[in-house]
Amino acid sequence: MMMGFLDSKLYQWLEHIANFFFLNLVWIVCCLPLVTAFPATTAMFGVLRDWHKNDNRAVVVPFLRYFRRNLKTSLGVSLLWTAGFAVVYVNLRIIDPFSSVFEFVLMAFIGLVIIGFVFTTVYLFPVLVHFELPLRFKVRNAFFISVSQLPYTLLGSAVMFFTAYFVYHWPVLLLFIGTLSGYLMYMICYMAFEKIGASYEYEAQHAGKA
């Protein structure tokens, strides 16, 4: 009877739920120093990618492997994103778009930059674990994919928005929602990668060797 339960669909679903919850806890713990938030999120997406590719549901060992492998690149992206956010935030605080035509145009430009940051972030972590490329190519490719696959980009942006909204209003959801939204994000990005096709992956890999 026990063997029958272990082979049942119910047990498999319970095992999947437990793995998602455990991965979420590992991700939260590794994000606590804050400076490691990007490497931890990259590692989480790496594990989710492994889960999508095969039936191996390991958590800790692959998480630590992806964390170490992408530590330098993820920290570089973290610095880049933090600097970009700081510049945008300062400009939003000091610019009055109604004071002059120049400041209105500048505000419109900053708005485009914010949209570009959001769109690029949709694909950022999946690209970090999906392609073996130098950092500059990973950021560039994340942006170009976001522009070329706009429907998927808008869908991914909506997932990020609603995740942030729910966590802001109900912080306890952070215990569950991180890996769930991460997996949904990865699946959206994977569909975009599939639509781009093998020709893009070939070009991206050769660009990384240049």
pLDDT digit string, tens, across residues 153-168:
999 999 999 999 999 9
Question: Which string of b and e fits 78-115 if b means at least 16 CB within 10 Å?
Answer: beebeeeeeeeeeeeeebebeeeeeeeeeeeebeeeee
Report the SS3 class of residue 117. Answer: helix
Q: Comparing 12 with 200, which gets the higher pLDDT?
A: 12
Neighbours of 69 (CB within 10 A): 15
Q: Is the pLDDT of residue 85 over 70?
A: yes
- pLDDT at position 2 is 47
pLDDT tens digits for range 7-55: 567 767 888 889 999 999 999 999 998 899 999 999 999 999 999 888 6
Say which DSSP state 196 is in.
H
- Cα radius of gyration rounded to whole Å, the chain: 19
- Confidence bin at 6 (pLDDT 50/70/90): low
Q: Measured between alpha carbons, how far is 171 from 15 in angstroms, rounded to an integer?
A: 25
Taking alpha carbons only, the member of 10, 15, 13, 19 closest to residue 183 is 19
